[in-house]
Structure 1
């Protein structure tokens, strides 16, 4: 008689694959944190008439506050990682359907060139700051690429190409997470202090904030125009990950051949162009061609918002205070100076382009 495999655990009478059931606890926790963030935003609006801090930022802060007092175990972490990474990437991909190609074209050649220049100068400048403070080559590059492009995603893509050690990766990601929260909170304040309109706030957020969903949080106080501008500017930065990773891989290969005389591995295609960027561009093209019905855009935006909230909750829950503490004062100083330098570059670019 054939052996019958055991059934997976069930939810409301429905048998689910084991891979899905492993994710449920952490995903449910992130959903609860996201729900509490929405509740806090509603409370703000009810009391003072508007939200001082948006739900996306509150989700990060709530998750980080929980992590200070409790470290999720293996029972929770699979779902937390899924929410922080996969849901975030899916949200970014689906965001393409909500942005018309006309918005990208509307950036104009000068802004596109300014974005590429800021990324290139930020990588070089941040790397030099790191080396000046005595950071190893790999750590300095990780901090530089993380700050200049897209935080954890850039660090994860660059690390295997430059053969970075695990400890360096953990420290770089830890500081990127902490600085990412700080930048999200500071962008609206700086924009208000400098008298920026929606366009200026969007460009500032897009040029300085590490992750696309965090750009939405930073730009949200300035309105929908700032959100759209910030998202498009940020996505141009993310697209720089491909050529930057390719260049670093070729440089590493040349270095390895000089030292050992062997043939170094080249970067994988998936490292050059993240899948969610490809999907984003496909959906952007379909939206621009009128192939996506207008009536599904509102539900799609709601789904993107929900997934983004859960992703921010997951990122907050993954901030590791121990990894941050172990990294030391030098790495913290370099990361902070790098973020400050990028902020000054962004303000300069906005002034030169007259987009305040």
Structure 2
């Protein structure tokens, strides 16, 4: 009988191999984000006869470890992508606009989820992932609100699906809407979910679009800390009221790590080589986490239980795309 550490090895090795494959495919086909591929490979592993039994059995301990702990590690390292100087360079009007888009998208997506009769915790996770930064934000909010890892699987699948949809659809609208590269970049940064999906979407319009998109997106990423802190404060005020019960922390340590790493990046002390190495490490950690989460999704169950969730996600995607486009026109004049 293997010990708890040894039991995680098979799943972790499989997740690492899947990330290597995802990164290789991304290099060959840059329009396909590695993180999206990692989720897709996890879905395949969970639903192909032969592999599905392994992911539910011998590989499960390591895959669950990746989905929880490597997700948190990836969120911490994500802070090294955020330069406060670049964000402040947008100007206060743009910062207010982006903040407004995030808050409106969060509230609107939560409302849409409840309108489609999704459970409150699912609506909360979908709203967080869609409005801030995809699967990373879902993992952070789940930790703050003490939501089970199993309950993050559907929101992660939805945010991956809709982010992938954006990669294919948004570039087709550049000409019909008469968008300049800068406006399109701002739109992608303000409305596409995951950082990798933003890059894949914006790069179709050139370097100037990509530059704007990344800064706008990372401004949304910064809001991960205050929004999860607010959620943690609310949860703390309503949980642990019973005698002897330990109240959850307002902000988990890994979110504080994210803030600390963002502050470190903003000092300018880190060399480009160190930042590049950190970016690779983050891709590996998040990719393994997303493979682990994807490997828990059974397509049959998803189709049976996720129809309302899919419709809610598509409605939310349209809402965020509209909000982001309006903000992009106001930011880039």
Deviation sequence 1:257-310 (CA, Å, 0-9, x none): 8x9799882434336835244313312321xxxx455xxx37854873696489
Match of 2:200 among 217, 221, 226: 217
- Report deviation, 1:342: 0.7
- Which residue is equivalent to 1:30? 19
1:121 and 1:34 mapped to 2: Cα distance? Answer: 34
Q: 1:95/1:241 Cα in 2 relative to 1: closer, same or farther (>3 Å)?
A: closer
Conserved? CA contact 2:15–2:291, under 8 Å: no
Which of 95, 108, 123 in structure 1 is aligned with 2:81? 95
1:212-291 pair list within 5 angstroms: 212-256=195-239, 265-270=247-252, 273=255, 275-286=257-268, 291=269
Q: For 2:327 and 2:309, how far apart are their aligned partners in 1?
A: 27
Q: Deviations over 1:67-123 (max 9, x none)?
A: 464547355984894897478547634435xx6x55323211111001111111111
Instruction: Output aligned runs, 1:1-356, within 5 Å.
Output: 23-39=12-28, 41=29, 53=31, 56=34, 59=37, 63=41, 66-67=44-45, 69=48, 71=52, 73=55, 74-75=58-59, 78=62, 81=66, 85=71, 88-89=74-75, 92-96=78-82, 102-164=85-147, 168-256=151-239, 265-270=247-252, 273=255, 275-286=257-268, 291-292=269-270, 297=272, 301=276, 304=279, 308=283, 315=290, 318-319=293-294, 320=297, 321-322=299-300, 324-355=302-333
User: Would the aligned equivalents of 1:242 and 1:272 in 2 still touch at CA under 8 Å?
Assistant: no
Shift of the 78–186 alpha-carbon distance from structure 1 to 2, 3 Å rule, reads farther
Higher relative contact order (CA 8 A, sep 6+): 2
Per-residue CA deviations over 1:191-235 (Å, capped at 9, x if unaligned) read 454232332222222222222222222222223333332222222
- Aligned partners of 1:55 and 1:309 also within 8 Å: no
Give SS of 2:306's match.
Answer: helix
CA distance in 2, matches of 1:120, 1:326: 31
Distance 1:174 1:55 in 2: 15
In the aligned structure 1, how far is the partner of 2:235 from the partner of 2:115?
A: 21
Contact map agreement 2:187 2:324 (CA 8 A) in 1: yes
- Name structure 2 gaps, 5 residues minimum: none
Question: Which of 1 and 2 has greater Rg?
Answer: 1
Aligned length: 317
Please report the TM-score for the alignment, with normalisation by the length of structure 1: 0.71
Aligned partners of 2:70 and 2:289 also within 8 Å: yes
* Residue aligned with 2:252, SS: helix
**Cα distance in 1, alignment partners of residues 288 and 149 from structure 2:** 24
**Cα distance in 1 for residues equivalent to 2:113 and 2:321:** 17
CA distance in 1 between counterparts of 2:144 and 2:33 reads 36
Change (3 A) 1:168 1:233: same
RMSD (Å) for aligned C-alpha atoms: 3.9
- 1:246–1:272 Cα contact (<8 Å) kept: no
